[in-house]
């Protein structure tokens, strides 16, 4: 008897209690689906949802098996309940609903659900399927699909737009867009690298350095970030850090062509021309950039600095064949004999445009026709913004003239920032203010002048040399200026026009209150141009300027002598 009781007890001990919960029924449902027993799978998914009614995944599974068994309306009812009640973040439910509507041939409803999915789903797990379904719906509805912003691709699309802005030289706009991208997706490495470049192109080296260090904190071996940091070290003249990083880059041999190109251009900028040439040869040998004249130019410059002039000539000749409309390769081929001199090689730039100084010489020869690269090439624009912050006085004057000719919103923003720089010379700021005025900005702007920050109005700068300001401004006085601007625009630069304006304001301020009555503004404008031309040692006669303005030479002479008596002739 005791033996029987012991056996019964042992048997009882071997019985494992079944845990009736949602997991149990979910596993049974999955096994049933694997065996194509959809009726059992449906039953088990219902039980799982009953055990955990607040778990949206269970309900989503139930909707899925209902769809598999052709119960599309019931499936959609559950999907709507998930979105509206249980978990609005499960945006994939819209994709499932679109499938159900399509199976019911309710194509309009399927399209609306699919558009909701594309607009609201951040992950994009079904993005390819959704785009394929959209093509099917266009065919069934016999019309194109409405325009839609695909949220899952929003970061990528915005980043592509930011890169385009950088390529167009619109650095401030690119920076704002990249900042917005990083607020949404802080780990977007390419966006952070490009934000650092945007700051760099605007001359904001400290911000560029800080941004690239943030990138390297996220990914210490990111080649783009390391290359950018090396260039930033070079401009910061941090030789110790630069040499340490450059040594690391010398020993780096990337395989992806994008990385090879980035490293090649970086080593060239750092002056590691032998290393750069080796990487450029790899790219050309692999066939990368077969139709890119710029790549042959980069290789040619590296060859020049590596004392391989014959090879450089071959590269530039190939560049000229690939890009016959460009002057770059032809210019360097003409300069090739001079490049045999070590000092002359410094003029060979990796940037695929004519050298900075050469472009200015071309522009000075034809001031009414700016070379195309000066306004459209982002690298040239970047060099302007950099030179405006870091160049010497002569360079800054040249840059302000060039920016006046470009005159877009990015230029205006750069000039307004220049007015706030405490270490810049006041007369340069006055010229920048004059350019802003010429570009249509009439309202006062904040500026640091004389060491003090204040709102600066161009009229406030109309004082004479003894500091006596004009109490007001007459329309006729402005007409004199506008007439002179119009006639001088083709043959005189911004600096000459600025001097003309200062001469007129100085004369009015000194003569006040005995200011002239402007009956014929053309005569006064011609007199101002005559005096400005003389100040800049140009050969001109009263008769010549009088004819251009449709004025009397005697009257022009009388007005010029009157201005000169009061102001004295300025010498340049």
Question: What mean pLDDT is predicted for residues 478-506?
Answer: 84
Q: Would you place residue 152 in the very low, low, confident or very high pLDDT band (cuts 50, 70, 90)? A: low
Domain range enclosing 547? 475-567
| 188 within a domain of the structure (yes/no) | yes
Of 100, 132, 152, the residue that ends a domain is 152
Q: How confident is the model at residue 214, as a pLDDT? A: 94
492-to-368, 435, 499 alpha-carbon distances in Å: 9, 14, 11
Are the C-beta atoms of residues 433 and 447 closer than 8 Å to each other?
yes
Burial state string for 441-473 with b = 16 or more CB within 10 A and e = fewer than 16: eeeebebbbeeeeeebebeebbebeeeeebeee
The highest-confidence range among 65-74, 93-102, 340-349, 481-490, by mean pLDDT, is 93-102
Inside any domain, residue 9: no
252 lies in some domain: yes
> Residue 356 and residue 377: Cα distance in Å, rounded?
12
Percent of the chain with pLDDT over 90: 23
Residues 301 and 189 in one domain: yes
Answer whether the bond into residue 344 is a cis peptide, omega within 30°: no
330 with 415, same domain? no
- Predicted local confidence at residue 233, as pLDDT: 93
Residue 469 domain flag: no
What phi-psi label fits residue 20: left (phi over 0), alpha (psi between -120 and 50 degrees) or beta?
A: beta
For residue 330, count CB atoms less than 10 angstroms from its CB and return exposed for 0-12, middle for 13-18, buried for 19 or more: middle
12 falls within a domain:
no
Q: How confident is the model at residue 317, as a pLDDT?
A: 94
The reported pLDDT for the residue numbered 364 is 56
pLDDT mean across residues, the chain: 80
66-84: average pLDDT: 89
Q: Does any domain span residue 7?
A: no
Tokens of 485: 């601007």
| End-to-end Cα distance, the chain | 129
Whether 45 and 137 share a structural domain:
yes
Q: How far apart are CA 433 and CA 160, in angstroms?
A: 34
Same structural domain for residues 126 and 220?
no
Asked whether residue 201 falls in the same domain as residue 287, the answer is yes
Three-state DSSP class for 82? helix
Give the containing element (helix H, strand E) for 546: helix 542-549
Kindly tell me if the per-residue pLDDT of 302 is higher than 90. Answer: yes
Residues 6+ apart with CB under 8 A from 406: 370, 374, 375, 381
Question: Does pLDDT of 563 surpass 60?
Answer: yes
Cα(146)–Cα(138) distance, integer angstroms:
10
Find all residues with CB under 8 Å of 286, minimum gap 6, and list them: 257
Residues 1-26 pLDDT 10s: 445 555 544 554 454 444 565 566 66
Q: Does 342 or 68 have the greater pLDDT score?
A: 68
Burial of 306 (0-12, 13-18, 19+ CB in 10 A): middle
Tell whether 104 and 227 lie within a shared domain.
Answer: no
At 91 the pLDDT is: 86
For position 469, what pLDDT does the model report?
Answer: 55
Give the pLDDT band of residue 67 (cuts 50, 70, 90): confident
Instruction: Yes or no: say if 146 and 138 are a contact pair by the CB < 8 Å rule.
Output: no
Whether the predicted pLDDT of 393 surpasses 50: yes
Is position 39 within any domain? yes
Average pLDDT over residues 483-509: 83
Please tell me the distance from the alpha carbon of residue 186 to that of residue 174, in angstroms, as a whole number: 16
Any residues with CB less than 8 A from the CB of 160 and at least 6 apart, and which?
A: none
CATH number, domain of 482, equals 1.10.472.10
Least confident of 66-75, 192-201, 509-518: 509-518
Answer yes or no: do 241 and 305 share one domain. Answer: yes
243 lies in the same domain as 225: yes
230: CB partners within 8 A, 6+ apart: 242, 245, 246, 249, 266, 270
Q: Which two tokens stand for residue 43?
A: 């039953």
pLDDT reported for residue 496: 84
**Domain end (from 345, 378, 396):** 345
Paired tokens of 211: 């941004």
Work out the average pLDDT over 113-140.
Answer: 81
CA torsion 526→530→532→533, rounded to 10°? 130
User: Looking at residue 1, what is its pLDDT?
Assistant: 47
Separation between Cα atoms, residue 400 and residue 185, nearest integer Å:
37
For 417-440, how does the pLDDT look when each residue is reduced to its tens digit (9 = 90+)? 888 888 888 878 878 888 887 777
pLDDT, tens digit, for every residue of 329-382? 887 888 788 777 766 666 678 777 666 555 565 555 455 555 555 555 554 666
- Render 152-213 in DSSP notation, one character per residue: GGHHHHHHHHHHHHHHTT-HHHHHHHHHHHHHH-TT-HHHHHHHHHHHHHTT-HHHHHHHHH
pLDDT for the residue numbered 572: 45
Count of domains for the chain: 4
Among 123, 152, 181, residue at a domain's last position: 152
Picking from 393, 439, 391, the residue whose alpha carbon sits closest to that of residue 413 is 439
- Same-domain status, 55 and 77: yes
Measuring CA to CA, how many Å separate 23 from each of 67, 78, 81, 118? 22, 20, 22, 32
Write out the two tokens for 224.
């783009």
**Is 467 among the domain residues?**
no
* Stronger pLDDT, 230 or 289, i.e. the higher one: 230
pLDDT beyond 80 at 500: yes
Are 335 and 390 part of one and the same domain?
no
CA 218 to each of CA 187, 199, 382: distance values in angstroms, whole numbers, following the listed order: 7, 19, 27
The CA distance from 274 to 427, in Å, is: 44
Identify the residue with better confidence: 252 or 30: 252
Question: HSE-up of 335 (CA within 13 Å, CB side)?
Answer: 24
182, 145: one domain? no
Answer with the residue of higher pLDDT: 460 or 28.
Answer: 28
pLDDT in tens, 443-478: 778 888 777 887 766 555 544 444 455 556 778 888
Same structural domain for residues 97 and 168? no
Residue range 143-163: mean pLDDT, rounded: 70
Mean per-residue pLDDT, 280-303: 82
Q: What is the pLDDT of residue 242?
A: 94
Question: What is the CATH classification number for the domain harbouring 117?
Answer: 1.25.40.10
Cα-based angle 335, 340, 345 (whole degrees, multiple of 5) = 70
């Amino acid at each position: 008897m005791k033996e029987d009781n012991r056996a019964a007890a042992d048997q009882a001990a071997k019985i494992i209690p079944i845990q009736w919960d949602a997991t149990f029924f979910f596993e049974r449902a999955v096994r049933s689906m694997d065996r194509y027993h959809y009726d059992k799978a449906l039953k088990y998914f219902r039980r799982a949802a009953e055990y955990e009614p607040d778990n949206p995944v269970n309900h989503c599974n139930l909707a899925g098996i209902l769809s598999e068994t052709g119960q599309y309306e019931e499936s959609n009812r559950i999907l709507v309940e998930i979105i509206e009640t249980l978990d609005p973040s499960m945006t994939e439910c819209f994709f499932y609903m679109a499938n159900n509507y399509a199976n019911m041939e309710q194509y309009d409803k399927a399209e609306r659900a699919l558009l909701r999915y594309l607009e609201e789903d951040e992950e994009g797990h079904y993005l390819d399927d959704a785009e394929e379904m959209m093509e099917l719906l266009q065919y069934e509805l016999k019309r194109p699909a409405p325009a839609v912003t695909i949220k899952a691709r929003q970061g990528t699309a915005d980043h592509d737009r930011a890169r385009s802005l950088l390529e167009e030289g619109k650095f401030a706009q690119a920076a704002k867009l990249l900042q917005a991208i990083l607020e949404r997706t802080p780990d977007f490495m390419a966006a952070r690298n490009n934000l650092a470049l945007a700051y760099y192109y605007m001359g904001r080296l400290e911000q560029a350095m800080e941004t690239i260090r943030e990138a390297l904190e996220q990914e210490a071996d990111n080649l783009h970030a390391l290359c950018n940091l090396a260039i930033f070290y070079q401009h910061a003249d941090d030789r110790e850090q630069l040499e340490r990083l450059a040594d690391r880059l010398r020993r780096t041999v990337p395989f992806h062509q994008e990385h090879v190109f980035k490293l090649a251009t970086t080593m060239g900028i750092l002056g590691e021309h032998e290393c750069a040439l080796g990487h450029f040869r790899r790219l050309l040998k692999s066939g990368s950039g077969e139709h890119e004249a710029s790549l042959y130019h980069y290789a040619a410059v590296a060859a020049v600095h590596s004392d391989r002039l014959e090879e450089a000539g071959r590269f530039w000749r190939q560049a000229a064949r690939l890009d016959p409309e460009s002057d770059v390769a032809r210019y360097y081929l003409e300069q090739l004999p001079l490049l045999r001199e070590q000092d002359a090689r410094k003029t060979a730039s990796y940037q695929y445009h004519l050298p900075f100084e050469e472009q200015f010489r071309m522009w000075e020869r034809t001031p009414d026709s700016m070379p195309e690269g000066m306004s459209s090439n982002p690298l040239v624009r970047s060099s302007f913004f950099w030179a405006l912050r870091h160049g010497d006085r002569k360079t800054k004057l040249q840059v302000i003239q060039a920016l006046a000719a470009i005159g877009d919103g990015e230029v205006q923003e750069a000039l307004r920032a220049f007015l706030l720089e405490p270490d810049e010379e006041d007369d340069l700021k006055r010229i920048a203010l004059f350019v802003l005025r010429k570009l249509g900005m009439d309202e006062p702007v904040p500026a640091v002048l004389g060491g003090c920050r204040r709102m600066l109005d161009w009229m406030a700068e109309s004082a004479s040399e003894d500091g006596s300001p004009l109490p007001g401004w007459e329309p006729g006085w402005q007409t004199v200026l506008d007439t002179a601007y119009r006639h001088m625009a083709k043959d005189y630069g911004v600096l000459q026009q600025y001097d003309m304006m200062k001469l007129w304001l100085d004369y009015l301020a000194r003569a006040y209150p005995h200011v002239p009555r402007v009956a014929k503004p053309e005569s006064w404008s011609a007199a101002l141009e005559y005096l400005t031309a003389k100040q800049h040692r140009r050969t001109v006669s009263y008769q010549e300027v009088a004819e251009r303005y449709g004025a009397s030479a005697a009257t022009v002479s009388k007005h010029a002598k009157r201005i000169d008596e009061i102001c004295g002739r300025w010498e340049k």
